[in-house]
Amino acid sequence: MTGGAATDLPVILGPAAMPERRAPPPISLGRTLASPRFGFWLAACFLASLLASQALAAPGQLSIAATMLRWSPLILTGFALNIAISFLAMAIGTAAGTFLGLAQISQLAAVRRASWLVTQFFRNSPWLVLLFYCMLLLPFELNFGRWQIPLPDWIKATFGLALPVMANMAELVRGAVQSLPYGQWESAEALAFTRRQTLWMIVLPQCVRRMTPPWMNLYAILTVATPLCSIVGVNEAMTLTGDALAAEGRRELLVPMYLFLLVAFFLYCYPIARWTQTLERKFAVKA
C-alpha cells in the first residue's frame, strides 16, 4: 500500500488509536460503612431493638433505655480492660515476634528450624486453648525471695493472647524481610556493612512500611478476640454484661445489652480498619 491508498484489509489499531476503557469503580465496603446512610440504618436498628425490647417489658418496670444507662458505666469499665489487654498483648507479641521472625532468617540452621517450629505451633493453635493453658499453668504469684508479685487473671490472659500474636508477628517480619530485593543486601555488603548493621540500618527500616498495615489489622483482630477472656473468668466487658443481665433478670434486655457491646467494639475497631486501608493505598507498590 503506497500513498495512503485505502484498503479493505483489517487493520489493528495502535494503543493511541484504541478507545480508552475505564475500569468500573470498585465497590468500597469502607466507603459504604462510612456513608451517612449506613449510619442512619445502624441507628435505626439500634432504636428498633430498644422499642421491641421495651414492648416485651412488664408494666411498671424501669425502661430499657434507663436500665442500659444505669449499667453502661460498668460495661464500659470492662471494655476499658479489654482495650488494656489488647494493648499489652500486642506490645508483648510485637517485641517477641520481631526477634522470632529475625531468627527465622538466621544463618544458623538450628536457630532457623527451632524458630520456625515455635512460630508454626503457636500460629496454628486455637487462641482459646492457649488461654486455658496460661490460666491453668501459670501460678497465681511469683516468688523472688521476700518479694511476691501477684499474677491476676487478666495478666495471665494477656500472656495467652500474646502467644498467637507473637507467631503472626514473626511471619510478618520474615515475609517483609524476604520481600525486599536481594540487591539491598549486596549493596550493604559492598559497603562493608555487617549483617547486623544491614538488618537494623537498611532492611528493617524499609520493612516497617510494609508491615504497618497488616500489623494494624492484626491488632484489630486481637481486640475483637479479647472477649474470649470471659470464658476463663476475666471480668471484662462480656463478663460484666452477663452479670448485669443476671442481676436484672429480664430477658428483654438480652438484645440491647449485647448490641451495645457490639457497637462499642465496632466504634473502636472500625477507625483502625479505615486507617489500615489508607496506609495500604499509601504504601502500595506502584506498577
Cell of 57: 417489658
Lowest mean pLDDT among 7-21, 141-155, 249-263: 7-21
In CATH, the number for domain 67-137+150-282 is 1.10.3720.10
Instruction: In whole angstroms, give the CA distance from residue 124 to residue 100.
Output: 16
pLDDT of 116 strictly over 50:
yes
pLDDT recorded at residue 154: 92
pTM (2 d.p.): 0.77
pLDDT in tens, 34-63: 445 655 666 666 566 655 555 555 565 667
Tell me phi and psi for residue 30, to 5 degrees: -65, -40
Scanning the structure block, which residue is given the C-alpha cell 527500616?
Answer: 205
As given in the structure block, the three cell numbers for residue 47 are: 432504636
Closest to 224 measured CA to CA, from 232, 211, 212, 236: 236
Residues 167, 146: Cα–Cα separation, whole Å? 35
Cell of 38: 449506613
Q: Domain-by-domain residue ranges, the chain?
A: 67-137+150-282
Question: What angle do helix axes 237-248 and 64-103 make, rounded to 10 degrees?
Answer: 160
Q: How confident is the model at residue 279 (pLDDT cuts 50, 70, 90)?
A: confident
DSSP SS3 for 143: strand
Which among 284, 145, 149, 150 is positioned nearest to 210, based on CA atoms? 284
Task: Give the three-state DSSP class for 190.
Answer: helix
Give the confidence band of 18 by pLDDT, cuts at 50, 70, 90. very low
